[in-house]
Amino acid sequence: MKMNTIKSENLFNEAQKYIPGGVNSPVRAFKAVGGNPVFIQRGVGSKFYDVDGNEYIDYIESWGPHLFGHNPSFIKEALLKALENGTSFGAPTKLEVDMAKLISELVPSVEMVRMVNSGTEATMSAVRAARGYTGKEKIIKFEGCYHGHADFFLIKAGSGALTFGVPTSPGVTKGNAADTLIADYNDIDSVKKIIQQNKNEAAAIIIEPIAGNMGVVPADKKFLEELRSICSEEKIVLIFDEVMTGFRVAKGGAQELYGIKPDLSTFGKIIGGGLPVGAFGGKKAIMEMIAPSGPVYQAGTLSGNPLAMAAGYAALNYIKSNPDIYKTLEERSSYLEKGIRETLSEVKKNFALNRVGSMMTLFFTEDEVNNFHSAIKSDTVLYGKFFSEMLKRGIYLAPAQFEAAFVSTAHSKEDLDKTILNFFSSIKHII
């Protein structure tokens, strides 16, 4: 089974002359799965189409933003209306106020919010706010959690279990790495030891409450409850990175599912309705440290861009007005999960399948996956073969093992049945 992808191949060859690696974000290059990327021309509902005319059922959904599928009419209408008034002003608009009020209404922990332009900008600004608020410099993050490409996030654990982090990318300084402490996900003892060894030095603990960048790995509720208690006791700002999970796993994000209030939260993806956007918000006392209210400087020329605000407000307002969305997503996602598990049982494979709401990842390991160390046991070569087989069959999954698949309200039973059927044939082909 072979698709005609000659136009994509020609475009990729051309792109590599002018764009590093031929792509504007590394995972798009298919290096983790082999082969060359297909170039997408348009999307509608649960599907998108490449420049050669091939159709795919899409499970990356622009890496999460498309909760309602591609190009839903209510978001398109909101964008066209906003476009009539102009694309950008660099001055306040009513839409920004409406958006801030709506986020605060939907997420109870958010008392004030600042709009930015990306998830990376949101997380790095939240950390800066925490440092300004506490007067402390170090932060604690968890191995396997991704918070964007700011220098102090591109850190991995050192040679010992409890050491300062070391840079994972050239261009990240040792000074940045020294201020980032690395703990083990779902291991509260690793957090306690780090805090004990760095008494009164940690400004913030930042975590994905449901990790999505080592594949989907949910935090244990007790672990998060203890994390909340420790942060309160030690006067450490607890930051939930909900760029991926915000408005995806529940109306109020992962913090609604767990019943835990962080001090700060970061958002992105769905709050832009598919346009570039980010936000961070939380306790008023911390947020009022942000300029011009306070001394912590943060700014952005296109922050609160009217097009992004219009699309984001349409998305969030649709969620508010349609409370059954998450029931629908759960029904469709659980149906897909059941079909995958039945296939794995039939071919006698006990690969780990993690799912929370409409996010899921199949790991090619038979061990339980609950942290970074168990996630990386997955057979990435086998995943690459599986990805290629599914792509040939018109199913577009994440071109990397350690990413999430997303289900949208646009995915029909027909889409899901086709996916399950091709999942079976692809698994049978590679094992």
Query: How many angstroms separate the CA atoms of 269 and 315, rounded?
Result: 11
Catalytic residue numbers read 146, 241, 269
Read off the amino acid at residue 415: D
What is the sign of the dihedral through the CA atoms of 103, 108, 112 and 117? negative
Q: State pTM to two decimals.
A: 0.96
Count CB neighbours of 293 within 10 A: 11
pLDDT at 1: 59
Q: Which two tokens stand for residue 301?
A: 């020329």
Phi-psi region of 78 (alpha: psi -120 to 50; beta: other; left: phi over 0): alpha
- 69-110 pLDDT tens trace: 999 999 999 999 999 999 999 999 999 999 999 999 999 999
For domain 73-321, the CATH architecture is 3-Layer(aba) Sandwich (3.40)
What DSSP letter does each residue of 6-23 carry, written as one string? HHHHHHHHHHHHHSGGGS
The stretch 298-306 carries a mean pLDDT of: 96
For domain 6-71+324-430, the CATH architecture is Alpha-Beta Complex (3.90)
Quick one: which of 378, 380, 389, 379 has its CA closest to 427? 389
Quick one: which of 93, 68, 46, 102 has its CA closest to 417? 46
The pLDDT-based confidence of 293 (bands split at 50, 70, 90) is very high
pLDDT value at 163 more than 70: no
Query: How many angstroms separate the CA atoms of 393 and 131, rounded?
Result: 49
pLDDT value at 214 more than 50: yes
Give me the percent of the chain exceeding a pLDDT of 90: 92
Average pLDDT, the chain: 95
pLDDT at 156: 75
pLDDT at 165: 59
Query: How many angstroms separate the CA atoms of 119 and 147, rounded?
Result: 8
- 7-57 pLDDT tens trace: 999 999 999 999 999 999 999 999 999 999 999 999 999 999 999 999 999
Crossing angle of the two packed helices 413-430 and 380-392, in degrees rounded to 10: 130
The pLDDT-based confidence of 157 (bands split at 50, 70, 90) is low
List the chain domain ranges.
6-71+324-430, 73-321
Pairing relationship of beta strands 180-183 and 138-142 according to DSSP bridges: parallel
